[in-house]
């Protein structure tokens, strides 16, 4: 393992999923409660569970004597200050686009001495996303797609989700991604498809609440009943799960092309 790093606390599911995917799970001594949604870490008996970068207890983290604590933006300043005040090294990731996700995979894999595995993971993700892109292109049409990360206040999904929507054969609206949006903006954009991936809800987002929003009955997606829920971690966790997220989006955006297709077939026979 690079630089003698053998004890890592991960305060971000994306970090945990990346370390697991490159074969460095043995260096994890602490993860968040959310990490089991994206990596099979719950079965590891040596792990201590924490909250994320907003609510984690720096004193409890310090008790594990980690070589490095890795979190992500956004984080609560008091938590990070408490970690640093205890003499611990802290690294925060801040991906915005797919290129940033790949860069984080490269960085983390190098940190744990798994550079080759990191390169392989990046290439696998790229090829899976491109496989979906090639098949989606056969549809010809590009429906307008609104992806919602949070309902109150309205927040559209992150820029990497906008890239996945494009790869899945749709057009992300309203632009730009990764910000608060007004109801009027969404109504004016008139999306043909609405995708709900509310943070921290897994697959429990509420299409019925969207249908009840004032003025939204005129939106084409609402009128046609094209409001879909995608498991939160498939779109909101910037790591290996995004490859499954693009497959989920493709089935929603272009059911005429992708429905009935097994996940493995998307990767192996998309060209």
Domain definitions of the chain by residue range: 2-94, 139-268
245-270 pLDDT tens trace: 999 999 999 999 998 666 556 655 44
Q: Does domain 2-94 have CATH number 2.40.30.10?
A: no
Structure-token pair, residue 176: 């730009």
Could you tell me the pLDDT band of residue 42, with boundaries at 50, 70 and 90? confident
Cis peptide before 214 (omega within 30 of 0): no
Structure-token pair, residue 228: 């879909």
What angle do helix axes 242-253 and 159-167 make, rounded to 10 degrees?
Answer: 50
Quote the CA–CA distance of 129 and 39 in Å, as a whole number.
20
The DSSP H or E segment spanning 166 is helix 159-167
Q: What's the CATH number for 139-268?
A: 3.40.50.1980
pTM of the model: 0.93
pLDDT beyond 60 at 242: yes
Quote the CA–CA distance of 159 and 174 in Å, as a whole number.
12
186-201 pLDDT tens trace: 999 999 999 999 998 9
In this prediction, what percent of the chain has a pLDDT beyond 70? Answer: 93
Task: Using alpha carbons only, give the angle 80, 148, 151 rounded to the nearest 5 degrees.
Answer: 75
Query: Is 84 strand, coil or helix?
Result: helix
Equal fold, 2-94 vs 139-268 = yes
Lowest average pLDDT, out of 32-41, 163-172, 249-258, goes to 32-41
């Amino acid at each position: 393992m690079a630089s003698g790093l053998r004890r890592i606390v991960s305060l971000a599911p994306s970090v945990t999923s990346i370390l697991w995917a490159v074969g460095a799970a043995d260096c994890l001594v602490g993860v968040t409660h959310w990490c089991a949604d994206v990596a099979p870490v719950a079965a590891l008996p040596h792990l201590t569970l924490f909250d994320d970068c907003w609510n984690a207890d720096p004193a409890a983290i310090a008790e594990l004597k980690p070589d490095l604590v890795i979190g992500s933006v956004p984080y609560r300043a008091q938590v990070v200050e408490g970690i640093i005040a205890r003499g611990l090294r802290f690294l925060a990731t801040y991906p915005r686009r797919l290129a940033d996700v790949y860069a984080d995979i490269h960085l983390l894999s190098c940190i744990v001495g798994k550079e080759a595995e990191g390169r392989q993971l990046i290439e696998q993700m790229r090829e899976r996303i491109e496989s979906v892109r090639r098949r989606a292109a056969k549809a010809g049409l590009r429906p307008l797609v609104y992806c919602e990360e949070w309902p109150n206040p309205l927040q559209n999904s992150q820029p990497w989700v906008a890239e996945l929507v494009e790869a899945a054969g749709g057009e992300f609206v309203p632009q730009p991604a990764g910000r608060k949006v007004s109801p009027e903006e969404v109504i004016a954009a008139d999306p043909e498809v609405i995708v709900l991936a509310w943070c921290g809800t897994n697959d429990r987002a509420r299409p019925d609440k969207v249908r009840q929003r004032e003025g939204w009955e005129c939106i084409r997606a609402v009128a046609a009943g094209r409001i879909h829920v995608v498991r939160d971690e498939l779109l909101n966790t910037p790591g290996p799960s995004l490859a499954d997220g693009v497959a989920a989006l493709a089935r929603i955006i272009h059911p005429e092309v992708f429905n009935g297709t097994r996940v493995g077939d998307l990767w192996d026979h998309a060209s």
